[in-house]
Structures are given as C-alpha cells and as structure tokens.
Amino acid sequence: MKRLVLRLFCLGSLLFYLFGNTITVMAMNPEPELTAPSYVLMEETTGKIICARNETERRSPASITKIMTLILAFDALESGKITLEEEVMTSAYAKSMGGSQVFLEEGEMQTVDTLLKCIAVASGNDASVALAEHIAGSEEAFVNKMNEKTKELGLTDTFFEDCTGLTDSQGHYTSALDVAKMSAYLINTYPKVYEYTGIWMEDIVHKTIKGENIFTLSSTNKLLKQYPYTTGLKTGSTDAAKYCISATAKNGDLSLIAVVMGADTPTARFDEAKALLHYGFGVSRFYQDDNEIQMKELSIQGALCSNIPVEKEKVFRYLDTVGIDFSKIERLEKYAENLEAPVAKGSAVGELKYLCEGKELGSVKIIASEEVVKATYTDFFLMLFRNFLL
C-alpha cells in the first residue's frame, strides 16, 4: 500500500512538473462565464474569434443598428457625396422618432459633423433619420443601401428594416458575429469614427425659429468611464433586443471587439463586455514577422534574368491565445514553377507559410517587388553577342 501511494505521489509530481505551468496559466485566465445568450470576442485586425456563444444566432440589434448607419455616413464622406461642414435640414418625419433622441425640431439645420456626434454619442434616432434622408433621399432608400452593404461585407445573418433599430420586427435582425465584423470594418476603414465614439459629453446648439438653446450630448457607452482601454463603439436596447453593446478597446498592439447581445440589464451588458475584454487582453499576444526575404533565383521563361527581387505581400501577424512557443515557429518558402515573363510588380510568385510543431499558423503571399519584362529576340541576340565577346 505504501509503495502504491509513493508511486502515485511520484506520478503526480511528474505531471505537475510537465504540465503545471500550463495549468497555472489556464487557471489565471479562465474563460468568463456570462449570462448573455449571445456574445463574441474578436481581435480587430485579424478577425480571430477568441471566445463566443451563439455568435451566429439572429437577434434583434436595437441601436447597434447604427453601426451600419455610421458606415454609410462615412462612405458618403469618403466619396465626397457629403462634407462634415454642410448643413442638414430635419424633416417632420425625422423629428417624430421616439426612443433615444436629441430633440431636433422640424426645419432645424445641423451640420453633418454635429449629426454624427448625435448618433455616435447619444444614439439619436432623429439625427439618424435626418442624416439618412440627406444622404439617400429617404430612410427607405438609405435602408436599401444598408442591406446592399451587408451583402458587400459578407454579413449573412443581417437584415435591416430601419436605420435606427427602433423596430421590434422579427425581420430586422443581425448576429453577434456580424456586429463584430461590421464594427471591425467601420473602425479599420474609418478610424476617424473614434473622434466621435470617444466623446463622453459635448454640447450642441439647437437653432430654430424659437431661438437658440444648448443641449448636452451624453454618451450611452458607460465603458468610456468604467474600462480604461475603451475606444467606442455602440450600445442599444429595446424590449425585444434587451441590452446590447459592441465595445471596442485597445491595449498596446491589441485591439479587441466585444459584442454582447440580449443581456438582462444595462449593468450586465457593461459588466460582461468588460469581462470579455479583460479575458482577451489576458490571453492574447501577437507573433509578428518583420524579417525580409531575399532575392530568389527562379526559372522565368522568356526573360533575360533568373534572379527576381521578391518581398512579402504584408507583414505576417498571428494572434496566439493558448501560449505557443514563438521560438519554435518556422518559415517555409514555396515558389511557383515555370513562371513566364512578363511578371508584373506585385504579382504573386510564391507563398510563405508559418508552422509551429507541425501546425500551420497561416501564410502570406510572396510577390515580385519589381517588374520582369519579356525579352525580345533582339535582347537574346545582344546577350549572346556580349557573351561571345567575353
């Protein structure tokens, strides 16, 4: 009996020696236990999902609908269709919006810049409709553009019926994963949006025939004060949606998006978003390969040269959440065979794969960093003539 106990003790000691560090790391960063029926935690730049539950389940989004409204607004700014300085007139229909509003009056003029603040900070439904009508002519036409954009972005679990999220219709839906994707698109494509989503409080001036009065915009995103790394993005709540949030945060080189849908209370919405972000920053780290690749001698038919200058299409980044040993990452270069001139600058000539202990982590294209022109008969004749003289 004593021998058995001793053997078990020795076996336990060996297992702790071999796996103790891993067990400790896992214990220090356990995946959060949330009550929300649907959530996702995504790294912004890579799109990697760190943890999730029912992330493709279609749910009512409430005012996080306005993430797509902001995308179309910034699209219009980028294309030159509108400017930040131009003024927008509030229609009777826009004024009639209920829910969250900034109390625009019919006929009131506000700049696009101010309306963006009203949407991003105070979730103004009246401001959303006013800007939608200004961009597309009507809310209906604007919503059609929203749905066209969802197809363009590959959002398969999203369909909009208004630009505010006020509706509780079952035909107006999205998923936590789609919200994370559209959030990532917005902040990657238009980082200027942070200038709006990062505002805690700001005054605007209502100018109507009744005179002027100051109205204070107050952010619906309490994480701006509750969580130090918060950069945005959008909250929402209706009876059907309950309490939702898409929260963006940045700590060092890590940018995370936490989407919580269907939380029972406003406090739970913010607490569970914080828990997701805290977990993500605790387990995540980047491997980044900044090393260059050298000029490669390749077989290129129809060219005078065999050496072609090459480079990586982009810097390879890998988000690790399980604690792999970066020193064991290997690079494997593979090049195309039987290349034919001409080879355009920037065209793919190979692939650079990254592996760790046999597992492929990802890859980047190897591209030609200079053009390789097609040689003529005269070029070949001159080359032979020069070689003969030598």
Tokens of residue 360, six digits: 């492929």
Count of other CB atoms within 10 angstroms of residue 356: 17
Calpha distance 254→10 (Å, rounded): 41
CB-CB contact of 345 with 369 (8 Å): yes
Which 3 state secondary structure label does DSSP give 60?
Answer: coil
Q: How far apart are CA 366 and CA 168, in angstroms?
A: 49
Tell me how far apart the alpha carbons of residues 81 and 71 are, in angstroms, rounded to a whole number: 14
Give the residue numbers annotated as catalytic, written as ranges: 63, 66, 123
Closest CA to 356 of 337, 329, 380: 329
CB of 251 within 8 A of CB of 229?
Answer: yes
| Structure tokens, 256 | 């995370």
| Cα–Cα distance, 177 to 203 (Å, whole number) | 34
278 CB-near residues (< 8 Å, 6+ apart): 32
Integer Cα distance of 299 and 312 in angstroms? 19
- Residue 181: closest CA among 102, 248, 94: 248
Q: What gap in Å lies between CA 233 and CA 4, rounded to an integer?
A: 59
How many other CB atoms are found less than 10 A from the CB of residue 68?
30
